Structure 1
């Protein structure tokens, strides 16, 4: 073995990174309930910020925040008071053993029509399923104390979340300033832009999701009512709650009324399935794009994979927090990674060629187009250089004798004055680093964050040095 071919690789950083990821996942899985409360507070604060800005015209921001949260809470309490009595009545009429018996009768009819299904309706299997269902119901009834404790904990977590929302909306500037201050000065501009994108997209997603939930629940309940489905209001509420879990939740919640109706009337179940399928297509093609707009701009496959990954790690809480997690990851990736490593822009023709399998030819054409553009840019730069040479005195400013004498008498100050002799274009391309102070942080939450951060700083405030550095 040649010693010169031996390479020593330090795997300690990679091992520490993997260990850090594992420990982080374990930590977040242990505090998933608290993590959901904090994330929900950020979502509600981002979604209610425009409402607070509206009421801030007539009252202080603290009272505007409190009034906005109470208005939202009152709306939910009012809807619950209207919907809870019929929901309780319909839940009381649910007879699971009777539904199982009706389903068994329907399966026996299908087995008589299709003998291939006869092994599925054997009496032994049906009795075993009924015994398991009875055992599960008995265990659920026996753990009423556990359910009561969980309900009390859920109410307490909800109250803490509302308090966090009120505090965040009342005084957001110190919070945002603290988050930005945790970054080094040279990265605070990127962090501010990423935070602005996160707040805007989370707020838009939260408002759109709430609207979609209300619309989905109302339309599904009305459709099931006109189709004559029992417990139509319960299934409508389940359809609304299913919107909290992207892509997977609506499918599961729409399938429940189909299964329960199939046990009584298979033909009606077919109509229910058609209605649910048509509504899901309309929601995905019209309602969701119209309400969500550009919030997130993520592919449905990415969201579905995120639901599976975060759901497997954090459970139902992770499935609910998939979109907020992806919004944060996307903003950090765009403003910290892509900002310093811009990816080459590939046209849609390249993607279509990759799907067809002839991407080589399309990439060759793309390379030809890039070569032509490069040649045109070189010709334009050469023509500009020749034009500058033909006009003496325009490309470089000549120093007068008085300026030369001042530079000679200044001594070492001449090196400091050299950057001032650069062209205006060079001066614009080298902006002076400036730490983010609390003033831009207020603009991030009080108005449009993206617009506030995109405006260049002018006036005396821009020239003041950072006193906190």
Structure 2
């Protein structure tokens, strides 16, 4: 018993020493951790790919009664075909759209300013009520800021697309590692369970394993469903913008599809750059784009989303909004997405704990 107390004291002293060194050398520790994480980036990529494709591998195994090797081969052939399609046809068009938009930005701002001057500033009816003077005061500053923010956003997007090619080696290594992760996923899971049971007591180990099992179930279904939902919305948006003859239709559809991954706020976040991009070329058309994307979002919210996702997270709108605010404030855009399934599992675990305590 005394030996165990001395062990606990030494462990506490070691933790205090590590914490003190961390605070005393924060920048050095931060640089070291950042370098270490960059070395592990292929494993993070591998885990993300394996987790994303796990459901498809399980589907082919269960549906067609094939072994693991055939299932993985089929899934990766589809995966590589999809990636090849994106880099061959979609990525060059997106980069070209961004380049054209950046180069034409001064002209678009000037044309839009002329349109506002013609139809709003010089409108006699609006001038009669004193509206035009206020519009004329704020128009120049507004479009200057819109131009700056849009140019910054597009440059960041272009840098992000270019950076994908610079990290191709890590992605390639990650893809190779992900194949082995999927092949031996049961062994990895069994090893993780053994480690948890070895480090924790039986009661706590059971609770931790139950929590992560539920988190995996909710998150995987939510991720796959949301990806499929956003892909369909992006395709429908592209078709609708082509019908409306909107310029940069593929770029706008990509933005709408990606932001649609964020629950509740995502569709409205995607609408803003879509309307601004169209506003530069044709203000009237921008109004139609706003109406179309809003109608598309309503279709997704009330019909398509529930059909695909169902009640995967079991959260009320208040809980979802709270999760998005906390996740976005802590981890940015990625946090806005992952916070929802995590909060859903935490809420279920808390409810189970409360029910168990009340039953006692």
Contact 1:112–1:118 under 8 Å retained in 2: no
| Pairing 1:50–2:58 present | yes
SS in 2 for 1:229: coil
Decide which of 296, 310, 322 is 1:305's aligned counterpart.
322
CA distance in 2 between partners of 1:42 and 1:82 (Å) = 25
* TM-score with structure 2 setting the length: 0.71
CA distance in 2 between partners of 1:266 and 1:97 (Å) = 15
Higher relative contact order structure (alpha carbons within 8 Å, sequence separation ≥ 6)? 1
CA distance in 1 between partners of 2:232 and 2:267 (Å) = 13
| CA 1:166–1:117: 2 relative to 1, 3 Å | farther
| CA 1:158–1:312: 2 relative to 1, 3 Å | farther
- How many equivalent pairs are there? 317
Q: Return the offset for 1:214.
A: 1.5
Contact 1:201–1:295 under 8 Å retained in 2: yes
Contact 2:109–2:147 under 8 Å retained in 1: no
| Pairing 1:277–2:291 present | no
| CA 1:39–1:107: 2 relative to 1, 3 Å | farther
Question: What's 1:296 paired with?
Answer: 313
| Pairing 1:248–2:272 present | no
Question: What's 1:98 paired with?
Answer: 107
How big is each residue's C-alpha offset from its partner over 1:129-185, in whole Å with a ceiling of 9 and x where there is no partner? Answer: 64995799599979x9x8698435643453454345323321122322233231432
Question: What's 1:172 paired with?
Answer: 185
Question: What's 2:131 paired with?
Answer: 116
CA distance in 1 between partners of 2:219 and 2:153 (Å) = 40
CA distance in 2 between partners of 1:204 and 1:68 (Å) = 18
Question: Please, which runs of 5 or more residues in structure 1 have no aligned partner?
Answer: 1-15, 344-469
**Superposition map of 1:68-467 within 5 A:** 68-94=75-101, 95-108=104-117, 109-113=119-123, 114=126, 115-122=130-137, 126=140, 130=144, 133=147, 150-151=163-164, 154-181=167-194, 182-183=196-197, 184-330=201-347, 332-334=349-351, 337-338=353-354, 340-342=356-358
Contact 1:212–1:287 under 8 Å retained in 2: yes
SS in 2 for 1:58: coil
CA distance in 2 between partners of 1:39 and 1:333 (Å) = 28
| CA 1:278–1:152: 2 relative to 1, 3 Å | closer
CA distance in 2 between partners of 1:138 and 1:254 (Å) = 18
Contact 1:46–1:202 under 8 Å retained in 2: no
Q: Return the offset for 1:253.
A: 1.4
Contact 1:45–1:168 under 8 Å retained in 2: no
| CA 1:131–1:278: 2 relative to 1, 3 Å | closer
Higher helix share: 2
**Aligned-pair Cα RMSD in Å:** 4.1
CA distance in 1 between partners of 2:283 and 2:75 (Å) = 47
Bigger Rg over Cα: 1
Question: Please, which runs of 5 or more residues in structure 2 have no aligned partner?
Answer: 1-15, 24-28
CA distance in 2 between partners of 1:240 and 1:138 (Å) = 20
* TM-score with structure 1 setting the length: 0.56
How big is each residue's C-alpha offset from its partner over 1:407-432, in whole Å with a ceiling of 9 and x where there is no partner? Answer: xxxxxxxxxxxxxxxxxxxxxxxxxx
Contact 1:194–1:332 under 8 Å retained in 2: yes
